Structure 1
Amino acid sequence: MSENSREVREVSVVRTASRTYKATSAETGSSIEFGQAEGLLTPVELLLAAIAGCSSIDVDVATTRRSEPEKFEVTASGDKLTEDGASRMEDIRLGFDLKFPDTEEGRKAAGMVERIVKLSHDKYCTVSRTVELGAKVTSEIAKS
């Protein structure tokens, strides 16, 4: 028997300056600035960060029940492909570089990483699963 649920997630994006935007969560009010201005992450970099961040949280929550990491770095990369003037990302890769203390708890945490990374990819990470499975994107223009 499968369990299905649906929850709406929403962010609003406001232009704050030329090529600079602020995304704000409707749920928490948290925000992040992004764009194509100097010192800001681009939308594609935000996508990569979201994928890496989603799996990072899954791995972090599970492993830190055993031990705090000495090193926890996750990189996300992918290939930008342009075909007939249209761009997209493909072959997105995550690299986990984790180190735990050489203690019984640290070794237990380290021993969990491979399984948790796989579970994150296969089941828990909403972001990477959405990218891989595809989601319909529609746009509506407000009549002001």
Structure 2
Amino acid sequence: MADNTMNAKVSWHEDMTFVATSGSGHQVIMDGDSPGKAPSPMEMVLMSAGSCASVDVVSILQKARQDFSECYCELSGKRADSTPKVFTDIHIEFVVVGKNVSESHVERAVKLSADKYCSVAKMLEASVNITHSYRIEEA
């Protein structure tokens, strides 16, 4: 049986700056000050949702043999007015740049990521309204 446990360590550095070390040994700096010297923990959540979804979209488009040179997503997150200032809404817009990229393949990739594969978004969607859109730009 596979062990599905993940580990991490977060260490205070200075001021409100922390160094997070993943179980695989990668480090990320975060800052609780606004504006700080690094992304805030909530910015990291937003970026994690975009990264997770992007992995899915790129993988699906590659398997569909789409000719694209860029894929990125732009995210906007609306937060509650009072503490805790959780995300209430997140919108993820994917931009795929390539040659003759099929709209149906992009639409399918975004839908599969949203409905089935993106574990970060699936975890957040219990309490956050997550919406998606996409656009295709010719290279």
Which structure has the larger Rg? 1
Structural RMSD (CA): 2.0
In 2, the alpha carbon distance for the partners of 1:121 and 1:88 equals 20
Within-5 A mapping of 1:24-43: 24-26=21-23, 28-35=24-31, 36=33, 38-43=36-41
Which residue of 15, 18, 21 corresponds with 2:15? Answer: 18
Higher strand share: 2
Alignment correspondent of 2:115: 122
Calculate percent identity across the aligned residue pairs: 26
Partners of 2:85 and 2:36 lie apart in 1 by: 22
Which consecutive unaligned segments of at least 5 residues does structure 1 have? 135-144
| Cα deviation code 1:51-86 (max 9, x no counterpart) | 000000011112134245233220111111123x43
Report the secondary structure of 2:12's partner residue: strand
* Amino acid in structure 2 at the alignment position of 1:17: E
Matched, 1:132 2:131: no
The answer for the alignment partner of 2:77 in structure 1 is 78
Segments of structure 2 that go 5 or more residues without pairing to the other structure are 128-139
2:48 is matched with 50
RCO greater where, 1 or 2, for CA within 8 Å and sep 6 or more? 2
Superposition misfits of 4+ residues, deviation over 4 angstroms: none
Letter in 1 for 2:68: P
How many equivalent residue pairs?
123
Say if 1:68 and 1:29 are closer, same or farther in 2 by CA, change over 3 A: farther
Range moving further from structure 2, 33-42 or 71-80: 33-42
